[in-house]
Every structure is written in structure tokens, then in C-alpha cells.
Amino acid sequence: MSATGGAHRDRLAAAAASAAAAGIDTLLITPGADLRYLVGYDALPLERLTCLVVPAGGPATLVVPRLELGAASASGAGEVVTVITHEETDDAFALAARHASEALGREPRTVGVSDRMWAEQVLRFRSILPGAEQRTAGEVLRPLRLRKRPDEIDALRGAAQAIDRVHARMGEWLRPGRTESTVGRDIADAIIAEGHAAVNFVIVGSGPNGASPHHHTAERVIEVGDPVVVDIGGTMPDGYCSDCTRTYVAGGKAPSDFAEYYQVLLAAQKSSCEVVRPGVTSHSVDAAAREVIADAGYGELFIHRTGHGIGLEEHEEPYIVAGSEVVLEPGMCFSIEPGIYASGRHGARIEDIVVVTEDGVERLDTIDRELAVLSG
Ligand code: ZN
Ligand code: ZN
Ligand code: ZN
């Protein structure tokens, strides 16, 4: 399912109101997750300017190159904003600036530019609107995107279910005697077959490679009894992302030291999920997992933060990290993915996407977390 025109109208109105409250006259939004969030248009980032102009008080305008009009219209953006085109010989930045000024009745004194706008575009806007202070649009959009509405949570739940279906089929591919990259290609095909529009990453870390959290795939042949970290994710047709890790044993018997710390990790991941509710800090969600792992003597082997937010981007706010004072609120969605990495030998990670509910937490990934021995 994808967001309706109604949802986009609400988001645009909220963005305009927040911009006004923040003292930003106009938001200038170029292609990326912010643009998709506001009007549903997954625009190509091109050297030709595509820019959504959102005045704090007036109606928004989408400026697109004429040759992109078809794509912009197909996205449904035209149902919520006026779309205007520029020709190859027009100054598109001047056109966008003129629309910003017309909507305000004066030149904007403060503009919020997309956090991911290209530097050359930021500088063009600076020279065309020399009187306008530039701030980041994220000041306004981050708090909105941070708290997912029910339609977004449904979309993330659909993404989680799709990636869980891929994990459920792991025994079809993950076997001793196959290389990580062969297994990875099969997984990538399944990510698409189970409903994603794009594969974002496939990590298959067998044996010692499992001890490197961002290992992708290599030509290493998976051996009998190898622990294998499988961390996979994709983007659904509606733009929302999945991200789920399970650790498997490929046939045979797992090394005993691995089997021991896997149980610690399982308890840590559960403990971290259980503290999630409105009002707690993201620091304490991280601390809950870290404490279980440290108490069991593996603290030095948990070498990254516990999680990251997810939505239209695979990594976004809130970050679940020591020292973070972000206070959880209903609608926040993020990963809980502690890991234990025994350098040179093997590693393990367990990752679920969770959403903060009115009084607790819902895990969107629900596939079994017990250590699974896949016998091929
Ligand atoms: Zn990562
Ligand atoms: Zn992951
Ligand atoms: Zn993740």
C-alpha cells in the first residue's frame, strides 16, 4: 500500500506549519526521501533541477524539468501540488526562487534546504536568493518523519513481513559447500520475489567473516558447522525499507563457545526490546542490551550501537546509542540489533525492527530467533 493524496496533503500542511513555527519562510526540497515523504515522488537526482517549493504560509509548487513531467505526473504529486516545468534554456533556480517569493509576497529571508541537497545546488540558491539565510530542512522534517503515522507503520510492517519470508526460506540456499556470494545472489532474488522493489544490501558472513559487522559477501566456501550472520534488507514499492538479521548454523554442530554467547545475545536482544515504551530514552534501550552482554563477559565484543531508525531510508533517526537523550514516543520505528563478534572466529547478530506503541512496543519482524541449524 502507498500513502494516499490525503496523507501527502496532511504532511505538506504539517511541514508548512512547522516551517512557520521554526521561522523558516520556505522549504526547498530536492529529490530524496524528504520529497518522497511530502508528495510521493521518487524523483531521479539529476543535474537538472527538480525542487519542491513549500512556503510557510501558501500552496506548494513542484518545479521539474519538462522531460521529467511524465514521471512527476505518474507519481501522483500533481494531485497535491502545482507542477510547473522548466525548459533546457530556463534558469530553473530563478524560477523556483520566483515561486517562493510570489507565495510569500516578498523574498524569503530564511530558507530550509534539503539535508541531502547537492552543494552546487545549495550555492546556486544562495546566489539567487542572496538575502536569505540557509538552514537545513531537516530541522522541520526530521521531527515529522521521526513519528510514523499508522499508514507508515503498516507499510513498515509489510516490509518486515516480506523480509521475514526471505529468512523463512534460508534453508533453500544456505548450505555447507556453497560460497557466500552464491548464497547472497539467491537471497537477493528472493528479496525481490517476496515483494520488494529493490535490494538494499545482502550480508552473508560465514565463520570469521561473521565477526565483521558490515561484511557483505565473499568467495569463502561455507563449511559444516559455520555460524553465518545473514543481514538483509530492501525497499518496498511504496518506498519503505526492511532490515532483518538472523544468525544460522550451516549444517553440523555449532562451535560450543559460539552456542554459549548466542544465548547471551538472544537474552540481550529480548531485554532491549522489553524496555521500549514511550518516555524512555534511546540510551536506555542501548544500555539494556549492553548490560546483559557485559554481565556475561562479552562487553568488549559488542562493538556498535544497538540500532537505527528506519522508514523511507534504511538508516534514519532515531539512533539507539549510548548517551542519546532522544525520548521515545509512539510511532518511532527502529532496529534493535545487538551483536557479539569474536574476531578471527565467528560472530552473531539478531535484528528486529520495532515500533513504539502507546504503551509499549511491537516487533515488526517476528520470525523465530532461536539458533537455527540448517541442514542441507
Ligand atoms: Zn548497518
Ligand atoms: Zn541489518
Ligand atoms: Zn539495521
Q: How far is the CA of 194 from the centre of ligand 3 (A)?
A: 19
> For the structural domain made of 150-374, what CATH number should be given?
3.90.230.10
Position with higher pLDDT, 44 vs 265: 265
CATH superfamily of 3-144: Creatinase/prolidase N-terminal domain (3.40.350.10)
Q: How far is the CA of 231 from the centre of ligand 2 (A)?
A: 5
Q: How far is the CA of 204 from the centre of ligand 3 (A)?
A: 14
pLDDT at 248: 97
pLDDT at position 215 over 90: no
Residues with Cβ within 8 Å of residue 46, at least 6 apart in sequence: 31, 65, 68
Ligand index nearest the alpha carbon of residue 304: 1
Q: How far is the CA of 322 from the centre of ligand 3 (A)?
A: 16
Assign 6 a pLDDT band (cuts: 50, 70, 90). confident
The per-residue pLDDT for range 200-211, each reduced to its tens digit, is: 999 999 999 999
Q: How far is the CA of 308 from the centre of ligand 3 (A)?
A: 6
Q: How far is the CA of 243 from the centre of ligand 3 (A)?
A: 5
The per-residue pLDDT for range 81-128, each reduced to its tens digit, is: 999 999 999 999 999 999 999 999 999 999 999 999 999 999 999 999
Burial class of residue 344, CB neighbours in 10 A (0-12, 13-18, 19+): exposed
The reply to whether the predicted model has a pTM over 0.85 is: yes
Q: How far is the CA of 251 from the centre of ligand 2 (A)?
A: 23
Ligand index nearest the alpha carbon of residue 307: 3
Q: How far is the CA of 233 from the centre of ligand 2 (A)?
A: 7
The per-residue pLDDT for range 8-39, each reduced to its tens digit, is: 999 999 999 999 999 999 999 999 999 999 99
Q: How far is the CA of 334 from the centre of ligand 3 (A)?
A: 8
Q: How far is the CA of 314 from the centre of ligand 1 (A)?
A: 9
Assign 3 a pLDDT band (cuts: 50, 70, 90). low
Q: How far is the CA of 273 from the centre of ligand 3 (A)?
A: 14
Q: How far is the CA of 213 from the centre of ligand 2 (A)?
A: 9
Q: How far is the CA of 296 from the centre of ligand 2 (A)?
A: 24
Residue whose cell numbers read 540489533 = 337
Cα end-to-end distance, the chain, whole Å: 36
Distance between CA atoms of 341 and 299, rounded to whole angstroms?
A: 10
Q: How far is the CA of 18 from the centre of ligand 1 (A)?
A: 31
Mean pLDDT of 323-342: 97
Q: How far is the CA of 290 from the centre of ligand 2 (A)?
A: 18
Mean pLDDT of 342-346: 96
Q: How far is the CA of 339 from the centre of ligand 2 (A)?
A: 11
Q: How far is the CA of 205 from the centre of ligand 2 (A)?
A: 12
The DSSP 8-state label assigned to residue 172 in this structure reads: G
Q: How far is the CA of 306 from the centre of ligand 2 (A)?
A: 11
pLDDT at position 1 over 50: no
Where do the structural domains in the chain lie, given as residue ranges? 3-144, 150-374
Distance between CA atoms of 99 and 57, rounded to whole angstroms?
A: 13
Query: How crowded is the C-beta side of 161, counted as CA atoms within 13 Å?
Result: 7
Q: How far is the CA of 214 from the centre of ligand 1 (A)?
A: 6
Q: Which residues surround ligand 2, an ion (CB under 5 A)?
A: 231, 243, 245, 351
Q: How far is the CA of 351 from the centre of ligand 3 (A)?
A: 7
Considering the chain, what is the average pLDDT of its residues? 95
Nine-digit cell at 233? 534488507
Q: How far is the CA of 351 from the centre of ligand 2 (A)?
A: 6
Q: How far is the CA of 119 from the centre of ligand 1 (A)?
A: 26
Mean pLDDT of 248-271: 96
Q: How far is the CA of 353 from the centre of ligand 2 (A)?
A: 9
Ligand index nearest the alpha carbon of residue 215: 1
Dihedral of alpha carbons 97, 98, 104, 107, sign = positive
H-assigned helices in the chain:
5-22, 33-39, 69-74, 92-104, 119-128, 138-146, 150-168, 180-193, 256-274, 282-295
Nine-digit cell at 107? 523574498
Assign 376 a pLDDT band (cuts: 50, 70, 90). low
Q: How far is the CA of 149 from the centre of ligand 2 (A)?
A: 23
CB distance 254 to 373 below 8 Å: yes
Q: In terms of DSSP bridges, do strands 316-320 and 333-336 run parallel, antiparallel, or are they unpaired?
A: unpaired
pLDDT at position 75 over 80: yes
